[in-house]
Each structure stands twice: as C-alpha cells, then as structure tokens.
Amino acid sequence: MNSDWQRALAALLLATGLGAGLAGFAPELHETGLIPRPRPVAETELVYSIVNLTEDMDARTACPLDLAAARARIEAGLRAHALKPVFSPIAEGPGVLTQEVAAQPISAGDATVCGWTASVSLNGRRGPLRRDREGQSYSSLEAASRDVEPLLSGPVR
C-alpha cells in the first residue's frame, strides 16, 4: 500500500516538473517548431454607429460633436470586451450597436464646458444612461461602450 502512494507521488512530481519545464521553454520550442505557436483569439466584429440626439440648436452650436474623439473613446470601451469595432455612419438594425449621445452646455464663468450623456442600444435592448466625468469629455461614451456585454448575451426583443 505504501509503495502505491510513493509511485503516485513520484508520477505527480515528474508530471509537474515536466509541465513546468515545457512551459518555461515554450518560446524556444516554438522557434524550433516542436510545438505549434498559439493562435491569437479572433475578435468578434461589432458594427456601431453614433447618433447625436442634441435637440437644442444652441447646444449643438456650443458643443459640436468631435467624431474622431468620440470614436476613439467608444472603440476603447468596446476593445475592453475583445470586440473589433467597425464604425458605420449609416448602419442601423439588428446586430448594430447604436451609441446615442447628447450635449449639455454648462456655463463655467466666461467659458462654456460641454457635458455629454451617452447610452447604447443593441437588438432592441438599451444600456444605462452615462454622463461625462468632470473634466473628461466623451468619457460617457467609453463608459456606455463598456455596458455592451449584457446586451450581447441577452435575448433579442
């Protein structure tokens, strides 16, 4: 009985040592071709569009949407979920993430500061309304983009 435990323990230690050795030398083994290189995880593409819902023309004039900055923030939020964002200014419908934004001008002395709100919708489901953090324009767009995971996994309405 004692020898069975000793053999099992020796086999476990040998397997652990072999596994650790292979893991430690994996880069060298990849270079020699003895073990295949791991394939990168394929990102799922997600088409998205941005809709500016700012109704007040004075607010639109005071706070024009910087599309490049907005896209950068949205794409940073989507990449947090290993999604490959694909922007389309005219896409809509099932499978298209719609990022709805609205500007709210805030007077700060002589200057006007723009605060943005954003929410996402996908397949008939809507994420929560997000607001910019103080002093960080378009942070609401990134925060709303991070809300997309529950919308991807839920049922289509």
The residues with which 96 forms a beta bridge, in sequence order, are: 47
> Cβ atoms within 10 A of the Cβ of 144, count?
27
Q: How far apart are CA 83 and CA 97, in angstroms?
A: 12
Pairing assessment for the beta strands 96-108 and 44-52 based on DSSP bridges: parallel
Stretch 100-105: mean pLDDT: 90
List the Cα angle 151/49/67 in 5-degree steps. Answer: 125
Pairing assessment for the beta strands 130-131 and 111-122 based on DSSP bridges: antiparallel
pLDDT at 39: 66
Q: Tokens 């088409």 — which residue?
A: 47
Confirm whether pTM is higher than 0.85: no
pLDDT at position 22 over 60:
yes
pLDDT at 152: 79
Residues 29, 22: contact at Cβ < 8 Å?
Answer: yes
Residues in the chain: 157
The CA radius of gyration of the chain, in Å to the nearest whole number, is 25
pLDDT at position 102 over 80:
yes
pLDDT at position 20 over 70:
yes
Q: State the pLDDT confidence band at 27, using cuts at 50, 70 and 90.
A: confident
Torsion of CA 57, 59, 62, 67, to 10 degrees: -90
> Closest Cα to residue 118, out of 137, 131, 135?
131
Condensed to tens digits (0 to 9), the pLDDT of residues 38-74 reads 766 667 889 999 999 999 898 889 889 999 999 999 9
Q: State the pLDDT confidence band at 100, using cuts at 50, 70 and 90.
A: very high
